[in-house]
Structure 1
Amino acid sequence: MSLKFAFSLIGCLLIANLNSTAADEKNPSTRWESTIQKFEQADKKQSPPKGAILFVGSSSIRLWDLENSFPEHTVINRGFGGSEVADSLFYADRIVTKHQPRQVVMYAGDNDIAHNKTPETVARDFRQFVKKVRQELPNVPIAYIAIKPSLSRWKLAETMKEANALIEQQCEANENLEYIDVWNPMIGKDGKPRPELFRDDGLHLNKKGYTLWNSLVEPVLVDE
């Protein structure tokens, strides 16, 4: 094999790998299929009840002890860490609507902004998520938990606030959409995120952070 041919082959392999990675990033079915299948396998072993409150979104949902946080409600946790709004949209029929929840609560958008998506894109994806869910469940209430301020992503604060504002406008303009503001309660007197609410990584909530969220979300939950 000539040296020129070898370099050419290596170049082609690198391009193919980059294209594959880009495709994975754009295609939720590639990135999250195994995770979604685990949800489906768990459903087969013990099917979640119909008419529950279903929480969906990224790691802030996945790490939330929902049953102990909301003992008076029947809840389903369908959070998968690292996910974006578009991922919940893509899998809505497999992890949301099939359970026929009486209410859907979403937390997503944090990772979207961290991955350089614009506020407009986040708002558009949320609008499409609502549309897809409502095709199957026309009257289901949907609550959106605002993108939270965090220590590790504070440099993205202004972009996150723009996304929150766009989604809040959507919620105000449409029936059965609720915007839950966690941003302002998580900001301290110094105008920055309250450190006592976070784990050591400065991104995920600790027990105190979830206690705050519980108090903000509970009043919005729909009774059975």
Structure 2
Amino acid sequence: MKSTISLYFIIFSILFMGGKAQAQDWPNLNKYQNENTNLKPAEAGQKRIVFMGDSITEFWSVIDGEYFATKPYINRGISGQTTPQMLVRFRADVITLKPTAVVILAGINDIAGNTGPSTLDMIANNIFSMAELAKANHIKVILCSVLPAFDFFWKPNQNPAEKVIALNEMIKNYAVANNIIFVDYHSAMVDGRKGLPISYSNDGVHPNKTGYEVMAPILEKAIAIVL
């Protein structure tokens, strides 16, 4: 177990610090620039879906790559990112790819303070802005709840659990008010401490393969409705 946690920490640190080293590219627009340029137009009848998010999204393709293998899903997660960074790169990494829909899962790194202090309103507004940009460009939106977290291994003792719950309520209320599909991972994955159980995560924040296998059918139901 300790070795697995260490591996997560090493991967997270390399990806996150790599972004820090490129301070001139704060939103990390370079990460997917080549992939975006070389991406072929969607085939006739193909309904492309872009996944926008942070490490929880990025690692999904690594840990449970089979989920993406046979589907027109494009992963545009970047480890360590906060919602203002995602908002800046939303046009390059989502809109220009002309997807049918976008899945937005974001906010946990804002709560951790990865790019400085953020209020819940600030976090929510960035998520809402991404949703509105998508809708303005005729892209359907799926908004996801933030996964439960009892603590952060890279920034401990911040007591994020209640903030996650409050942010999820804000996202859910916005989704209902704007006729947007809301995916509730939190209720399906939370433990008695209001965190992510060890059965679903090796570090308390990132899902393991079992965790992603819990998430996949929940999301697939939402995708079926949207499409």
Q: TM-score normalised by the shorter chain: which range applies?
A: 0.7 to 0.9
> Normalised by the size of structure 2, how large is the TM-score?
0.76
Distance 1:210 1:159 in 2: 22
Distance 1:40 1:192 in 2: 35
Q: Determine if the alignment matches structure 1 residue 113 to structure 2 residue 111.
A: yes
Q: How many residues align structurally? A: 193
Paired letter, 1:86: P
Specify which of 63, 68, 76 is matched with residue 59 of structure 2. 63
Which residue in 2 is equivalent to 1:8? none
Asked if structure 2 preserves the Cα contact closer than 8 Å seen for 1:105 and 1:142, the reply is yes
> Normalised by the size of structure 1, how large is the TM-score?
0.76
Paired letter, 2:78: F
Q: Determine if the alignment matches structure 1 residue 195 to structure 2 residue 193.
A: no
Deviations 1:133-153 (A, max 9, x none): 22322xx22111111112434
Paired letter, 2:108: D
**Identical residues among aligned pairs (%):** 22
Distance 1:102 1:181 in 2: 21
Distance 1:102 1:113 in 2: 30
Which residue in 2 is equivalent to 1:101? 99
Which residue in 1 is equivalent to 2:89? 91
1:216, distance to aligned residue in structure 2 (A): 1.1
Paired letter, 2:105: Y
Q: Determine if the alignment matches structure 1 residue 168 to structure 2 residue 172.
A: yes
Structure 1 runs (4+) greater than 6 angstroms displaced: none
Aligned CA distance change for structure 1 residues 118 and 95 (closer, same or farther; 3 Å)? same
Aligned CA distance change for structure 1 residues 129 and 190 (closer, same or farther; 3 Å)? closer
Q: Determine if the alignment matches structure 1 residue 132 to structure 2 residue 110.
A: no
Gaps spanning 5+ residues in structure 2: where?
Answer: 1-18, 153-157
1:86, distance to aligned residue in structure 2 (A): 1.7
Which residue in 1 is equivalent to 2:27? 32
Paired letter, 1:160: V
Aligned CA distance change for structure 1 residues 74 and 29 (closer, same or farther; 3 Å)? farther
1:84, distance to aligned residue in structure 2 (A): 1.4
| SS, match of residue 37 in structure 1 | coil
